A and B are shown apart, each in its own frame.
Chain A
Amino acid sequence: MGQFIDGPLWTFSLSVFVLGVIWRVVTILIAGNRSDLATAKGSAGKGAIRTVFSRFVPERTVATRGRIQLIAGYLFHLGLLALLFFAKPHVDFIAERITGLSWSAMPHWAFIVSAEAAFIGLILLWLHRVLNPVTRLLSDLDDHVGSILVFLVMLTGCLALAQAFEPLRLIHLLLAELLLIYFPFSKLMHAFTFVMSRGYTGATMGRKGINA
């Protein structure tokens, strides 16, 4: 079982993830956009690039009325990215199994801070999702499945590292593989498509000479 999780299932899940993400992005692109015939005031390209980055900085409405989502969102995303790319076992795994490239892992104290930030952020976001009337109305099964899968992957990963126990590592890997398979068919795709949605809006607004 361990060999299956470590071998064929890993290859399969990574393939589904890569091909699935490409397929999703391509299906969006081939839906096409009509060319805009109105004379532009500004640059679409510059507008697109500006918006891709400017939306990382919260507007005042978000910073005041949406501060729970803002703080929790940043805690979760930054914590998760730090864990994903700089936790020692991940750095080794990526070097050995994916890219062959290695970089410095973060120290143990940074791992603890990142894990705490990611857990606090994710739990707060999920609580907000189920308790706030707006997000409760909007949320569907996909939102909950995605949140729970990510939570379980993070939890088993931390336990595996703390206990250094092989079955825990395998459970963590199995859940990560399920997450990779689920990813292209879910809202988790926003990790890639946000560049497109921000870009499209930024380009349209950029043509009008608006900083969006």
Chain B
Amino acid sequence: MSEKFEQGVQALRQQIDARISSYFSSCVHCGLCAEACLFYTETNNPRFTPIHKLEPMKKLWRREYTFWGKLGAAFGLGQSLTEDDFAEWETLVYDSCTLCGRCSMICPVGNDITYMIRKQREGFSVAGYAPDGMKEATRRALKIGSPMGVTYKTLKAALAHVEKDTGMTIPVDKQGADYMTLFSSMEIVNFPEYIESIARIFDAAGVSWTISSKAFEATNSGIQIGNKEAAAELVNRVVIAAEKLGIKTVISPECGHAYTAIRWEGPNLIGRKYPFEVIHILELLDQLKKEGRLQLEYKDSIPMTLHDPCQIVRRGGVVKQPRDLLNSVAEHFTEMKDHGVMNWCCGGGGGVSANERAEPLRLQVFNRKKSQLDELGVNTLVTACANCRIILEEGLEHNEMDTEVISLTELIADHLVKDESNA
């Protein structure tokens, strides 16, 4: 038995709290969670049943927390958790779960299976059983500051482009600003127009804001791989920067799991409450609109639909705001049949997009989103997560679908009332 394996088992043991104990005690193996999981519905492979992905943790729980398990252990009977279990389940835990949380919404006994898988990953990552792509992303995040290797120099170059295109000055390290905004690496590298959009919106709405040169990255690979120390370190960088600048509110970008990391898991990871608030960009836009600070003009006549990013909507609670915002700029906004907290995942969340070996499976399960879009017949898909956006674009390309993917924040920026002073 290797030392790392033992440490992994110990890490797994530490995750078993009252919630997880009640979940394992309640599960009656009804299999309904499979029907909510796109990895099962699109493959019909029973191994992709969400609760089955938790067999290693269940094995440990049964052995150490149940009457029969303890009795068996006392007589040298029954099964213990082995290193082979980690090896065999690694792909189930990382490749075929996006932590989307859909299974948690339908379990008849109310088990939050996604929470359990997130916790199980803590044991797997300590034992060394995690995908290379995610390990590398986490290493880069800790060493360089971004899972994609984006440095402040890269961001500075992107900001220079925005400043040149808009004639605005982007505030960096502005002491005492009301808001400090974060970005995901994917936004900086793939969708710099997001940066321009928020600069234009904040300028029009008169928002006091800044970017920190020390902590601009919102992506948290530690959350995805299941390494609470790494996740805490990444959250802490943001907290320290916001505290130094005397920020009132930190803005989470469109990136889905970044919101979960900074808004919901962050204080628990660092073990203290923040001295500032955290708001998602969509919550802020909705708030500015309601305060009359966001003046929007005309509505697009092309039919549009919304892809709900799981971590923002189902796991984050930002459900109504994206709808209100989209309705304010789209004349024909139509919902998919399963939407809001029951929307289907893009297939690339929870670190799956950083896991190269998962790509064929990810493209296969994209069929669920394809079916939703085919059924609706709408060719403009609005979303609010850079990761969803890139995964959707890849899936659409793979299926040769003529559907455009738009960021909701960018769409809002495009509808700002034109003002000469904003030009």
Contacts and interface: CB of A to CB of B under 8 A. Distances in A.
Main secondary structure of the interface of A (DSSP, over half): helix
Interface of B: 16-23, 25-32, 34-36, 40-41, 44, 46-47, 49, 51-52, 65-68, 102, 104-112, 115, 263-268, 271-274, 277-278, 314-317, 319, 338, 341-342
A160 interface: no
Contact of A201 (B35, B67, B110, B274): B110
**Could you tell me the dominant secondary structure of chain B's interface residues?**
helix
18 contacts: A24-B25, A27-B65, A32-B17, A33-B18, A37-B273, A52-B110, A61-B36, A61-B338, A66-B35, A134-B46, A136-B46, A184-B67, A196-B22, A197-B23, A197-B111, A201-B107, A201-B110, A208-B315
Contact of A62 (B106, B314, B319): B106
A149 interface: no
Given A197-B111, A210-B341, A134 B21 contact: no
A99 interface: no
A41 B21 CA distance: 26
Contact of A38 (B22, B109, B264): B264
Interface residues of A, number: 59
Given A59-B105, A134-B34, A137-B52, 8 more contacts: A31-B20, A36-B268, A55-B108, A69-B30, A134-B40, A196-B22, A201-B19, A212-B105
Given A28-B18, A212-B105, A41 B317 contact: yes
B377 to A, nearest CB: 20
Interface in A186-212: 187, 189-190, 193-194, 196-202, 204-205, 208-212
Contact of A65 (B35, B52, B109, B314): B35
A201 B107 CA distance: 10
Interface string A35-59: 0111101100000000110010001
Given A39-B277, A202-B110, A208-B315, A190 B26 contact: yes
